Amino acid sequence: MSDSSTAAAAPRRKWLSRIWYVARPVIIFLVITSVLGISEISSHVALGWPGHIQASLPTLLPRWPELLLPLGCLAVATWLIHRFIRWWCATKGNAVDWRAGYTLSATAIVLSGAAAAIALSGVVHQLTWLFDKPLYESRGADVSRADAMSSTRQILLTLEDFRWKQERYPDSLSELSLPSRLLTVRPLSDLAPEPFVYLKPDAGSDPDTVVLVSPVLRQREVVIVGYLKGTTEVHPAADLPGILESRRALKSRRAPATDEP
- State yes or no: pLDDT of 55 exceeds 80: no
Can you give the residue range of the structural domain that contains 180?
Answer: 142-253
Asked whether residue 29 is assigned to any structural domain, the reply reads yes
Rounded CA-CA distance 142/161 in Å is 29
Rounded CA-CA distance 209/129 in Å is 32
Asked whether residue 125 is assigned to any structural domain, the reply reads no
Rounded CA-CA distance 250/233 in Å is 11
CB burial of residue 212 (10 Å; 0-12, 13-18, 19+) = buried
How many domains does the chain divide into?
Answer: 2
pTM for the predicted model, two decimal places: 0.48
Rounded CA-CA distance 19/140 in Å is 44
Asked whether residue 109 is assigned to any structural domain, the reply reads no
- State yes or no: pLDDT of 163 exceeds 70: yes
Asked whether residue 63 is assigned to any structural domain, the reply reads no
| Residue 77 confidence class, pLDDT cut points 50, 70, 90 | very high
Asked whether residue 115 is assigned to any structural domain, the reply reads no
Average pLDDT rounded to a whole number, residues 156-163: 90
- State yes or no: pLDDT of 155 exceeds 80: yes
- Of 30-34, 94-98, 184-188, 212-216, least confident by mean pLDDT is 30-34
Asked whether residue 135 is assigned to any structural domain, the reply reads no
Kindly report the average pLDDT of the chain as a whole number.
79
Asked whether residue 93 is assigned to any structural domain, the reply reads no
- State yes or no: pLDDT of 194 exceeds 80: yes
Asked whether residue 229 is assigned to any structural domain, the reply reads yes
From 190, 239, 177, 246, select the one nearest 214 (Cα to Cα).
Answer: 239
Query: What's residue 74's pLDDT?
Result: 92
